[in-house]
Structure 1
Amino acid sequence: MTNTPILILGGQGKTGRRVAEQLTSQQVPVRLASRSSEQRFDWYDDSTWSAAVAGVDTAYLAPPVGPTGLAQAGTFVKQAAAEGLRRVVLLSGRGVGAPGREFAVYQGSLDLENAVKVSGVDWTIVRPSWFAQNFSEDFLHEAVLAGQIRLPAGDGAEPWIDVNDVAEVMAAALLDTRHVGQGYSLSGPRTLTLTQVAAELSHAIGRPIGYVALEPEQFVAELVGYGAPQEDAESLRDLFAVIRNHRSEYTSDGVQQVLGRAPRDFSDWARTAARTGAWSA
């Protein structure tokens, strides 16, 4: 077992901390790097980049949301490769670069994927669907607690995935060279509309949760009103437009490909999250 740590960029995030847990459970050393970790790393401050990369040859990248952050991540990859990074596993988005599913909203992610591919590093790209944990951690957690999910997704459906499945795929990709040069699309086993999601959450939590279908610009205004940057709010609006336009109503078999098992169902995840206190007062 190598003593060289694997760098986890976004180590405090939904995927990063779970990838770190997966690796640590297998006695693989990790280096967590984020704005709040001991090893400080900021996508928007390139003076923090070299120290984070020093002495590592493999990294997990969970890039920021929005065109500016994605462009910064591409610049980072180029610099890190020049400074000795040799292996990257990248978190991207389902539908990025897929033939017949070219959406302008994905252009920044596609540019980042291409930057990784031409950087000279060995790469694996993992493209999951929307996370089930968005409803239990940060982004939509407060909305569920308030009993009302307000999103611009219309009546479109999405195959929401358990982030633990994503993290397990990421860990496998980081540790097994058979995944070099591969791209995997991941999803849950079935699609659900936001109305169905609200019903699943209501059943799991034991109290009514509703869904309000916002107009896209109303969604942006509400996010900005809560303090979100305009660019990030608009990027989320555009990502939800894929669901709203019924372009995400299909499943992907990446979990089965990498792990040899089916992904976890949303209802199973919701029951477990409720039982472990995700929405306790």
Structure 2
Amino acid sequence: MTEHTTSHKTDLPTATTGDLTVLVTAATGKTGRRVVPRLTARGIAVRAGSRTGDTLFDWQAPDTWAPALKGVQRAYVNYYPDLAAPGAVEVLRAFGATAAESGVSRLVLLSGRGEPAAVAAEEALAECGVPLTVVRASFFAQNFSEGPMAEGLGRGEIAFPAGNTAEPFIDAEDLADVLVAALVEDGHEGRTHEVTGPRPITFAEVAAEISAVLGREVHYVPVPGAAYQAALQEAGLSEPEASWLTDLFTTLLDGHNASSTTGVREVLGREPGTFAAFARREWGAAG
């Protein structure tokens, strides 16, 4: 994030349905914008926190945290850019203290599966003493339809430093269902849910699934880490940002995450959706 929000509203609405108000941080992101309508559909009052909405919330502007948390019982914590990013531990520790002071009774944190550096941030948030649920997710299927990788599909390629490693991509719709369950249902406090798609597939298999739906060839192009970092810098990222992202991706895709979990079934009582089903839903009309 480069934009800082330093002003905020002080008189936020606190009306609730069932005496429950939930703050959703990063409410315009991949998961936040899916969590918000699900909570609303359950009759729950939602604070959609973002740098531009009615509920101002900026991870880089701590003075926006307490006003957003005022009158909130639970919060979905989605830290940007990633829990493994430099400085995340200190920010999550400070946010946890603010949440405790504000009287929040439950926190649900989105984390990355198999990210050792993210565990330190999880632990820092837990220090606040507010009951915490951690949801560790695999790579999102939506990374191919929303964001930088989606741009390559128009050129017929997916360029990424993943080699032949398989990843159990999770549909963000399934992830949002898990997050909402952890926020509103009993029995999740103090637990860590690892959620993935039903089976690991390689990026080449991803390209084949997308090709089948689109009716045109999309190729996976394995990119060495150094070349990927250079491409990120050419796209406008600073050298430290590009280096950190490249290191993160190459670490996550070194094979240690090439297995699926039963997390979605344990929380929701059903199996997660396949990448093929996601692709048909996302690009079927374009095929």
TM score, norm. by length of structure 2: 0.88
Cα shift readout 1:87-117 (whole Å, capped 9, x = no counterpart): 1000001124xxxxxxxxx31x112110222
> Which residue does 2:36 correspond to in 1?
20
Partner of 1:118: 127
Structure 1 match to 2:102? 83
Give the residue type in structure 2 aligned to 1:51: P
Change (3 A) 1:243 1:50: closer
Q: Write the letter of the residue equivalent to 1:118.
A: E
Runs of 5+ consecutive residues of structure 2 not aligned to the other structure? 1-16
CA–CA separation in structure 2 for the residues paired with 1:22 and 1:258: 16
1:60 matched to 2:79? The reply is: no
Superposed CA deviations along residues 128-171 of structure 1, whole A, max 9, x for unmatched, are 10000000011311112221111111111100010000000000
2:219 counterpart letter in structure 1:
G
Q: Is this contact kept in 2: 1:158–1:243, CA < 8 A?
A: no
Are 2:165 and 1:156 aligned? yes
Q: Cα distance, 1:267 vs. partner?
A: 0.4
Matched residue type, 2:87: T
1:269 to partner: Cα distance? 0.5
Once the two structures are superposed, what CA deviation does each residue of 1:221-254 show, in whole Å capped at 9, x if it has no partner?
Answer: 2112212344443333223223542212111111
SS in 2 for 1:203: helix
Q: CA offsets, 1:37-87, max 9 Å, x none?
A: 221111111121111111112100111122234532332122221232221
Q: Which residue is equivalent to 2:214?
A: 205
Question: Can you give the 5+ residue segments of structure 1 that lack an aligned partner in the other structure?
Answer: 97-105
Matched, 1:263 2:282: no
Residue identity in the other structure for 2:279: A
Indicate the residue corresponding to 1:132 in structure 2. Answer: 141
Paired AA for residue 280 in structure 2? R
CA shift, 1:205, in A, is 1.5
Distance 2:112 2:171 in 1: 15
Q: Which moved more, 1:225-234 or 1:50-59?
A: 225-234
Q: Which stretch of structure 1 is more off in the superposition, 14-23 or 230-239? A: 230-239
Q: Which one-letter code corresponds to 1:94 in the other structure? A: R
Contact 2:95 2:125 in 1 (8 A): no
RMSD over equivalenced CA pairs, Å: 1.7
Q: Which residue of the partner structure matches residue 101 of structure 1? A: none
Say if 1:244 and 1:94 are closer, same or farther in 2 by CA, change over 3 A: closer
Q: Residue 67 of structure 1: SS of its match in structure 2? A: coil
Contact 2:90 2:124 in 1 (8 A): no
8 Å CA contact 2:93–2:128 kept in 1: the answer is no
Which residue of the other structure, out of 252, 263, 274, is the alignment partner of 2:283? Answer: 274
Say if 1:41 and 1:230 are closer, same or farther in 2 by CA, change over 3 A. farther
Deviates more, 1:160-169 or 1:115-124: 115-124
* 2:75 match: secondary structure: strand
Identity %: 38
Which whole-Å CA distance do the structure 2 matches of 1:271 and 1:78 have between them? 44
The one-letter code of the counterpart of 2:56 is R
Residue in structure 2 matched with residue 2 of structure 1 by the alignment: 18
Distance in 1 (CA, whole Å) between partners of 2:208 and 2:93 is 40
**Residue 231 and residue 12 in structure 1: after superposition, are their counterparts in 2 closer, same or farther (change >3 A)?**
farther
Residues 87 and 229 (structure 1), Cα distance of their counterparts in 2 relative to 1, 3 Å cut: farther
AA partner of residue 37 (structure 1):
G
Matches within 5 A, 1:103-252: 106-107=116-117, 109-252=118-261
Question: Does 1:31 find its partner at 2:47?
Answer: yes
Q: TM-score, normalised by structure 1?
A: 0.90
Residue 103 of structure 1 aligns with which residue?
none
Structure with greater helix share of residues: 1
Partner of 1:94: 113
Q: Which aligned segments of 4 or more residues in structure 1 are displaced greater than 3 angstroms?
A: 229-232
Are 1:157 and 1:243, in contact at CA under 8 Å, matched by a contact in 2? no
